[in-house]
Amino acid sequence: MQFVDTEFLVGGEIKLVLNHTDEGDPAKNWMPAYHFDICRLDGMRMGVCDLRVGYTDGLYYGGHIGYRIEPEFQGHHYAAKACRLLFLLAQKHAMPYLIITCNPDNLPKTCEHLHGELPEDNDMRMNDGAPQKCIFRFAL
């Protein structure tokens, strides 16, 4: 896989600043990944996010995107704004969809704000039908 220039990942009040890339490890079924700092336009770091490129069974449960917003910056949809920028990067890699997962005790506000699909046939459900993992699918 060829990593692409990420300077275009700027939108509204945030930008994604490339921290590093990982080539992945086929022996471990790990996909190549981009790792970013989520920053205000003035450079203030507010959190981190990453995009894993490609498809494996493990990514169905682990997800293509991970993110964390520092507590003092939460509540402003910065994670959703970063995800939208990562959607653009995924499109550059001709990915038709992405998966973002979270544990049910971690309210999936970001995924719901992005209008992700939570498939009813999620096979990570407990006996009472509650999900063990919330798996959201985003068509690009």
In a domain, 84, yes or no: yes
Decide: 101 and 135 in contact? Cβ < 8 Å: yes
In a domain, 33, yes or no: yes
CATH of the domain at 25: 3.40.630.30
In a domain, 4, yes or no: no
Which residues form the domain of 26? Answer: 10-139
Decide: 121 and 137 in contact? Cβ < 8 Å: no
CA dist 130 and 102 (Å) reads: 13
Decide: 16 and 81 in contact? Cβ < 8 Å: no
In a domain, 3, yes or no: no
* Candidate from 17-26, 49-58, 83-92, 117-126 with smallest mean pLDDT: 117-126
In a domain, 2, yes or no: no
In a domain, 5, yes or no: no
pTM for the model: 0.88
Tell me how far apart the 2 most distant CA atoms of the chain are, in Å.
Answer: 49
Q: What total number of domains does the chain contain?
A: 1
Residue 29 confidence class, pLDDT cut points 50, 70, 90: confident
CA dist 20 and 6 (Å) reads: 11
Q: What is the pLDDT of residues 42-61, one digit of tens each?
A: 999 999 999 999 998 888 88
CA dist 26 and 9 (Å) reads: 27
In a domain, 125, yes or no: yes
